[in-house]
Structure 1
């Protein structure tokens, strides 16, 4: 197990020092961002990634429903099943995070962006514009599905999320909170600079646990809410389908609460952000 080493520390501070450097907190508003092409390139990357995510996953959902529809000569055991749908969502997140992580961070989800904003990883301006790009991308992705599969899209619900029969609003909200917590907590853990310092292979493998988190959450919550954990995914499908606004607030409030809890848990409890801030304050207090 590697020792913690901090360059420049005194001899008596060597024990317990660290061999990694936490990046400085992102400013709340950074005017320089608005003058950089990399900023707009990242927004475009988030838009395209969310578009592709919704296009593939909603097509998978509709394809499964059409193949298993016994009223349309389908086989009740046909199609990819819930397991295949979960793989489609998790697999696409793995692919898209891998492709865009070096450009935009690979958020592809307003809840992830919100959690990273609370963790001071992105500025307010970047967070807001990412969310707008993600929602627009989701709408366009679902729009493409409807354009190519109009009959099936309308008949099989457009891949829109909704609270399943037999489940209360509280149960659906809890499922979205816990599911998003799992996802955002995984994002923070997989991209933790402390972990990257210990294991050089982690930056390459970071999209894998994130994709698996999405996969596992879908397995658990598809029967409850169809699995949102991504407000852009739920919003885009609802806008294009036009009939899925009942209990839609669950798919915004739940993910945002889950993301906030995950950010606070990782940054301020596991990484002792509150303790570090207090220690920094004490060390700078004159005597």
Structure 2
């Protein structure tokens, strides 16, 4: 009876850390299927969201007859497009690739030992290629508006310095990656297994909220593949001048989130569990 009670008190086992380098995954079809899933998901993400941005700018262009400055989906609608697409795509791909759809998320997962070095690098490549192809589809179907309204490229807004933009990207990405770690925690998954939509919903809302806060500053990246894909296809000087912000900021934010979750929150939880067990 005592043994049974002790087992009931145990927390669910955490996932074992992934090997730093795991060359065997390169021989598995499941790994390449995951890469395809990341590529397609990032392509769809860029296509829908960038098309939303360009459509909004076209609908509110004061130089076009019949437009309304208060028309279109607005910043709120753009934020919903980004957050909603992340919710949908994470829900669709989580069981196949983990549903990263973002090099910063992949980097955070790598630091948290959720993915190997080879896996992280190839995920990022697939995501960036997907971002390029997604932005390329928008330009192919709507070339005039694409070039006229900035191609949905991330650029630092007038009135803000690079430090402010970098800070916005760091904090925004921290919010996203912290949410990803918390929502996909194995202990939480075991407890909330009856709510399979919880993690994608939380992650989508994190993206939505960050966009509301930082669209006026950087157009909101928190995703290097999103910024890189649009910069490659739009290919204007301003987009490339600010590109470093949308890589350095998200990677720093992801690293801080990984450290905070793995070495502060999780470490504290382990100590707390051990203390209660000793009692």
With normalisation by structure 2, the TM-score equals: 0.92
Q: Which has the higher helix share?
A: 2
Residue 246 (str. 1) matches residue 241 (str. 2):
yes
> C-alpha offsets along residues 46-93 of structure 1, whole Å, 9 cap, x if unaligned?
000000000000000000000000101221011100000000000000
Aligned partners of 1:43 and 1:104 also within 8 Å: yes
For 2:244 and 2:221, locate their aligned partners in 1 and report how far apart those are by CA, in whole Å.
Answer: 11
For 2:269 and 2:198, locate their aligned partners in 1 and report how far apart those are by CA, in whole Å.
Answer: 29
Query: For the aligned residues, what is the CA RMSD?
Result: 1.9
For 1:203 and 1:25, locate their aligned partners in 2 and report how far apart those are by CA, in whole Å.
Answer: 23
For 1:189 and 1:234, locate their aligned partners in 2 and report how far apart those are by CA, in whole Å.
Answer: 25
Q: CA deviation at 1:203?
A: 3.5
Aligned partners of 1:160 and 1:241 also within 8 Å: yes
> C-alpha offsets along residues 75-127 of structure 1, whole Å, 9 cap, x if unaligned?
10111000000000000000000000000000000000000000000000000
**Equivalent residue runs for 1:156-175 within 5 Å:** 156-175=149-168
For 1:274 and 1:133, locate their aligned partners in 2 and report how far apart those are by CA, in whole Å.
Answer: 35
Match of 2:227 in 1: 234
Match of 1:258 in 2: 253
Match of 2:241, SS state, is coil
Q: CA deviation at 1:201?
A: 2.8
Match of 1:219 in 2: 212
Q: In the alignment, which of 21, 24, 36 is matched to residue 16 of structure 2?
A: 24
Gap change, CA 1:165 and 1:154, over 3 Å in 2 = same
For 2:185 and 2:131, locate their aligned partners in 1 and report how far apart those are by CA, in whole Å.
Answer: 28
Matched residue pairs, number?
Answer: 268
For 2:269 and 2:246, locate their aligned partners in 1 and report how far apart those are by CA, in whole Å.
Answer: 30
For 2:270 and 2:183, locate their aligned partners in 1 and report how far apart those are by CA, in whole Å.
Answer: 22
For 1:120 and 1:202, locate their aligned partners in 2 and report how far apart those are by CA, in whole Å.
Answer: 25
For 2:109 and 2:195, locate their aligned partners in 1 and report how far apart those are by CA, in whole Å.
Answer: 19
Gap change, CA 1:189 and 1:202, over 3 Å in 2 = farther
For 1:202 and 1:168, locate their aligned partners in 2 and report how far apart those are by CA, in whole Å.
Answer: 43
For 1:198 and 1:151, locate their aligned partners in 2 and report how far apart those are by CA, in whole Å.
Answer: 51
Gaps of 5+ in 2: 275-279
**Equivalent residue runs for 1:145-164 within 5 Å:** 145-164=138-157
Aligned partners of 1:55 and 1:142 also within 8 Å: yes
Match of 1:120 in 2: 113
Q: CA deviation at 1:29?
A: 1.1
Gap change, CA 1:195 and 1:275, over 3 Å in 2 = closer
Q: CA deviation at 1:205?
A: 1.6
For 1:87 and 1:130, locate their aligned partners in 2 and report how far apart those are by CA, in whole Å.
Answer: 25
With normalisation by structure 1, the TM-score equals: 0.89
Gaps of 5+ in 1: 1-9, 280-287
Match of 2:176 in 1: 183
For 1:223 and 1:264, locate their aligned partners in 2 and report how far apart those are by CA, in whole Å.
Answer: 29
Q: In the alignment, which of 81, 87, 90 is matched to residue 88 of structure 1?
A: 81
